[in-house]
Chains A and B, each alone.
Chain A
Amino acid sequence: MSIIVENLSKHYGTQKAVDAISFEAKAGQVLGFLGPNGAGKSTTMKMLTCYIPPTSGTATVCGFSIIDKPLEVRKLIGYLPELNPLYTDMFVREYLRFMAQIHGLGKGAKKRCEEMISNVGLTPEAHKKIGQLSKGYKQRVGLAQSMLHNPKVLILDEPTSGLDPNQIVDIRNLIKEIGRDRTVILSTHIMQEVQAMCDRVIIINQGKIVADDKTENLGKQEIEEYIIIVEFGKEINAELLKKISGVKSITALPNNQYRLICDKDIREQINKTAYENNMNLLGLSLEKQKLEDVFKTLTKKTDKDV
């Protein structure tokens, strides 16, 4: 296990930003941190990177405690802070070289910087001052910086914010690539990103972990109702659909489409009804419960508890 977090808490006065969370992360895994604003994602990351100490609890990174051995931990971690702070009056290469020197890359620094510049797609902008770059390119500089020293653990706080769709795909692939033999923890509030990149998701709300599972399992959780979309070639009498047992409600959508909420999978019955009444059925599909819905139910649930 490269990261072990045990009962980690951070209190600001009476507010519990992070409330006794525990989880583990192993190498070769991209772990997604998901949560609404102010859930405690960034605070957890700040504690793992030894920027702020926890109020109570401990965590270890590759066997080094964040409390007793912060320097060792920082050597192993690559970190992209939330708002991606950069020295705007430095040149891209100058900045990356500086960061490489801090990590003691020595003579290999120059080669490694060029490598990272091409990896994150910075080559056309590499001669500029950081302050002159657009937001997306600044983000790439931040990413390059975090991966410079080949860290064993990569902690990225909203890595794809400010990037355009093409860049997002590039960066996602890069992160996945790195995640193959390292530990990557990233936070985001974009669901598709989690589905696209992460092997495992931790949903966190009001400082507590509300779900911790593999990405594909999380989508399967607690299906209470089935949503079926049917499309017909001509106008039909919706009353006929209502008669099918299991249908709870029907909403008409444009172009003769209907959205049925049912308590079981009734696609077969619909097909039968359509055939019998000559309804000219064109499409029939079961909507899978999306991660968005899981997220909504899980985070709302804890809101009620509190």
Chain B
Amino acid sequence: MYSVFVKEIRSFLSSLIAYVVIIVFLMAIGLFMWVFPGYNVFDGGYANMDSLFSIAPWVFIFLISAITMRSFSEEKKSGTIELLTTKPLTDWQIVLAKYFASIVLVLFSLIPTIIFYVSVYKLSNPVGNLDTGAIMGSYIGLFFLGAVYASIGIFASAVTDNQIVSFLVSMFLCFFLYQAFSLLSDFKLFGSYDRLIEWFSIETHYKNISVGVVDSRDVLYFISVIVIFLWGSKTVFGSRKW
């Protein structure tokens, strides 16, 4: 499994995808945080990173879908999947190796934003006057969010051998899970069930963690969604045998 994981990382690095994703992510986030009027830190007047954490989930929808769209689709199209599945590897090993490789890429794109944190830290008056706890929590939330998106992306990629279809399906599912449920609950159509419906949306849990409170219920939610989609990927991937 480790060898497949290394191979995935290498293919990200050699095919430019990794660089493009990281650069686009940092550029988009950087522009919102420092340049665009109405969003930037200076206009806000508060030493915080709220603009980063409110924009990142949307940027991730595109970028993580782009990272994961080829993971199974391309192998299916080029037939290398036959090579991989006739090696002594289980389906779980292949799915997990691809999943963890995507997660590592998500981590790599998050790490450079520490520069933004340091900048805000230095800019604040007095220096260091910012809510580090909330920012830490937001980072953890963002990482979980990325991990969920990656599992959705892997699933979408396992469903089809067409990268574009995989990309679109993944974006739709990510958006749907991120906000659709909380939007639905805003209609207040279901009375006491509204809270339950809202509970299904990633946004609710992401915002909970962003406050700086890492609640085990939120973590459990993220982990269960990841497990569900990875299990789904494994099932779809194994469906060649049906």
Q: Does B4 interact with chain A (Cβ within 8 Å)?
A: yes
CB neighbours (8 Å) of A71 from chain B are: 88, 90
Does B15 lie at the interface of the complex (its beta carbon under 8 Å from any beta carbon of A)?
yes
* A85-B86 contact given A53-B241, A90-B11, A101-B3, CB 8 Å threshold: no
Q: Report yes or no: B87 in contact with A52, Cβ–Cβ below 8 A.
A: no
Establish whether residues B79 and A103, one from each chain, have CB atoms under 8 Å apart when the complex forms.
Answer: no
Residues on the A chain within 8 Å of B81, using CB = 85
**Cα of A55 to Cα of B80 in the assembled complex, Å:** 24
CB contact under 8 A between A102 and B89, given known A85-B82, A87-B80: yes
Q: A74-B87, A94-B10, A102-B89 are in contact. Are A81 and B15 (CB under 8 A)?
A: no
Return B70 CB to nearest CB of chain A, in Å. 11
Q: When A85-B78, A98-B3 are in contact, do A50 and B240 touch as well, CB less than 8 Å?
A: no
Query: Is A169 engaged at the interface, CB distance under 8 Å to the other chain?
Result: no
How long is the Cα–Cα vector from A81 to B4 in the complex, in angstroms? 19
Across-interface contacts of B10 in A (CB, < 8 A):
90, 94
Residues A102 and B4 in contact in the complex (CB < 8 Å), given A52-B240, A85-B80, A94-B10: yes
Docked pose: A87 CA to B86 CA in angstroms? 15
In whole Å, how far is A16's beta carbon from the nearest beta carbon of chain B? 18
Q: B7 in the interface, Cβ–Cβ < 8 Å?
A: yes
Query: For the complex, is A163 an interface residue (Cβ under 8 Å from B)?
Result: no
- How far is B10's CA from A77's CA once the two chains are assembled, in angstroms? 26
Given known A102-B4, A102-B88, contact A52–B241 (CB-CB < 8 A): yes
- Which of these, A53, A85, A89, A145, contacts B11 with CB under 8 Å? A89
Instruction: Check if A83 sits within 8 Å of B86, measured CB to CB.
Output: no
Q: Are B88 and A74 in contact (CB under 8 A)?
A: yes
Q: Which of these, B6, B85, B90, contacts A51 with CB under 8 Å?
A: B85
Q: State which size class the interface on A falls in.
A: 20 to 34
Q: Do A51 and B7 touch (CB < 8 A)?
A: no
Most buried by A among B80, B81, B85, B87: B87
CA gap between A51 and B80 in the complex, in Å: 12
A49-B88 Cα distance, complex, nearest whole Å:
10
The answer to whether B86 touches A50, judged by C-beta atoms less than 8 angstroms apart, is yes
Q: Is the CB of A33 closer than 8 A to any CB of chain B? A: no
B22 to chain A, nearest CB (A): 19
Q: What's the nearest-Cβ distance from chain A to residue B80, in Å?
A: 4
Contact A87 B88 (CB under 8 A): no
C-alpha spacing A126/B189, complex, angstroms: 65
Does B216 sit within 8 A of A, measured CB to CB?
no
Residue from the list B3, B14, B80, B240 in contact with A102, Cβ < 8 A: B3
A85 B88 Cβ-Cβ under 8 A: no
In B87-140, which residues have CB < 8 Å from any A CB?
Answer: 87-90
**Within the complex, what minimum Cβ distance (angstroms) separates B220 from chain A?**
32
Interchain nearest-CB distance for B227 vs A (Å):
23
Indicate if the CB atoms of A89 and B86 lie closer than 8 Å: no
Q: Is the CB of B240 within 8 A of A87?
A: no
Task: Known A83-B79, A89-B15, A102-B3; judge A74-B240 contact (CB<8 A).
Answer: no
Does A122 interact with chain B (Cβ within 8 Å)? no
Q: Is the CB of A79 within 8 A of B80?
A: no
Given contacts A49-B86, A53-B241, A74-B88, contact A89 B14 (CB under 8 A): yes
Contacts of A291 in B (CB 8 A): none
Give every chain A residue within 8 A of B79 (Cβ-Cβ).
81, 83, 85
How does the 8 Å CB contact mask read for B55-76 relative to A, with 1 for contact and 0 for none?
Answer: 0000000000000000000000
Q: In angstroms, how far is the closest chain B Cβ from the Cβ of A43? A: 13
B86 touches A79 (CB 8 A): yes
Among A49-64, those with CB < 8 Å from B are: 49-53
How would residues 104 to 139 of chain A score, 1 for a CB under 8 Å from any chain B CB and 0 otherwise?
A: 100000000000000000000000000000000000
How far, in angstroms, from A99 to B86 measured CA to CA in the complex? Answer: 11
Contact residues in B for A99 (Cβ distance below 8 Å): 87
Whole-angstrom distance between the Cβ of B10 and the nearest chain A Cβ:
7
Q: Are B83 and A85 in contact (CB under 8 A)?
A: yes
B53 CB to nearest A CB, Å: 35
Measured between alpha carbons, how far is A145 from B80 in the docked complex, in Å?
13
The 7 A-B pairs at the shortest CB distance, nearest first, are namely A85-B79, A101-B3, A49-B86, A85-B80, A75-B88, A74-B88, A81-B82
Interface residues of A (CB under 8 A from B): 46, 49-53, 71, 74-75, 77, 79, 81, 83, 85-90, 94, 98-99, 101-104, 145
20 further A-B pairs in the complex, CB-CB below 8 A; given A81-B83, A85-B80, A90-B14: A51-B85, A53-B241, A71-B88, A74-B86, A75-B88, A79-B86, A81-B82, A85-B78, A86-B80, A86-B83, A87-B7, A87-B80, A90-B11, A99-B87, A101-B2, A101-B3, A102-B3, A102-B88, A102-B89, A145-B83
6 A-B contact pairs sorted by A residue (CB < 8 Å) = A51-B85, A52-B240, A74-B86, A89-B15, A94-B10, A103-B87
